[in-house]
Amino acid sequence: MCGATEGGLSLDGVNVAKEAVIQGQVLRGEEPVAGAYVRLLDRSGEFTAEVPTSATGHFRFFAGDGEWTLRTLAPKAQPVDTRVVAATGSVAEVQVLVSA
């Protein structure tokens, strides 16, 4: 993962024109959730990848074009599923809110 910057992850060094990027932040209230896990599931619900969130709650995936589900697993919270569409040449920014 790239280092976090104000307003989200830096895209320095990422050729967005050739990538389908899904990235975002996991929050509990207004606080970032470090050490959560975000899983990338394909259209059929099959596991594709998993990343831990950074100290600022950020995560990033490079995915193929299409519909995906992010399953967020955070301490002391129920899993949260979030649908997202990835497309080459764009960045899908996602904010995931977990229970307090």
The answer on pLDDT for 6 being more than 80 is no
Is residue 39 assigned to a domain? yes
Exposure on the CB side of residue 99, measured as CA atoms within 13 A: 8
The CATH number assigned to the domain holding 56 equals: 2.60.40.10
Tally the domains of the chain: 1
Q: What's the chain's length in residues?
A: 100
Residue 21: burial class (beta carbons within 10 Å; 0-12, 13-18, 19+): buried
Task: Please report whether residue 90 resides in a domain.
Answer: yes
Q: Compute the distance between CA of residue 31 and CA of residue 36 in angstroms, rounded to an integer.
A: 13
Distances in Å between the alpha carbon of 50 and those of 19, 38, 40, 41? 18, 6, 6, 9
Is a pLDDT exceeding 60 seen at residue 95?
yes
Q: What is the pTM of this model?
A: 0.84
pLDDT at 23 over 70: yes
pLDDT at residue 3 in the model: 39
Q: Rounded distance, CA 66 to CA 36, Å?
A: 24
Share of the chain above pLDDT 70, in %: 86
